[in-house]
Amino acid sequence: MAHHLRTRPLKLAAAATVAALAAGTALAAGTAPASAATVHHGAPAARAVPDTASGVRTLTGALPDGATYKIEVPARWNRTLFLYNHPFTAPGAPNPAWDAGDPVTGGWLLSHGYALAGSSYARTGWAVEQALPDQIATLDVFARRVGHPRQTIAWGHSLGGMITAGLIQDYPGRFSAALPMCGVLAGGVATWNTALDAGFVIKVLLAPSVQVVHIADSAANLAVAERAAAIAQRSARGRARLSLAAALADLPGWFTPLSPEPARTDYAAQEANQYLALSQLEFRLTFDLRTELESRAGGNPSWNTGVDYAADLARSADATEVRALYRAAHLSLAADLGTLAGAGRIAADHRAVQYLTRNITFTGQLGVPVLTMQTTGDPNVVPENDQAYRGAVARAGDAALLRETFIQRAGHCAFTPAETIAAVKVLLHRLRSGRWDAAALTPGALNADAAALGPAYNAVNPDGTTLVPVPPAYVRYRPARFPRPYSRPAR
Sheet holding 177-181, edge to edge: 57-62, 68-73, 115-119, 80-85, 151-157, 177-181, 370-377, 402-410, 474-475
Q: What is the pLDDT of residue 14?
A: 24
Q: What is the pLDDT of residue 5?
A: 34
Is residue 68 within a helix (H) or strand (E), and if so which, with residue range? strand 68-73
Cα separation, 102 vs 96, in Å, equals 14
CB 160 within 8 A of CB 183: yes
Identity of the residue numbered 131: A
Identity of the residue numbered 438: A
CB 338 within 8 A of CB 379: no
**What are the structural domains, with CATH classification, of the chain?**
44-185+361-475 (3.40.50.1820), 189-355 (no CATH)
CB 359 within 8 A of CB 129: yes
Q: What is the pLDDT of residue 45?
A: 33
DSSP letter for 278, please. Answer: I
Long-range contacts of 138-144 (CB under 8 A, 24+ apart): 138/63, 138/69, 138/71, 138/83, 139/81, 139/83, 139/174, 141/61, 141/63, 141/69, 141/71, 142/71, 142/81, 142/115, 142/117
Blockwise average pLDDT, block size 10, the chain, 491 residues:
33 24 33 37 34 80 98 98 98 96 97 98 98 98 98 98 98 97 98 98 98 98 98 98 98 94 97 97 97 98 98 97 98 98 98 98 97 97 97 97 98 97 98 98 98 96 87 97 91 68
Cα separation, 68 vs 65, in Å, equals 9
Cα separation, 20 vs 184, in Å, equals 14
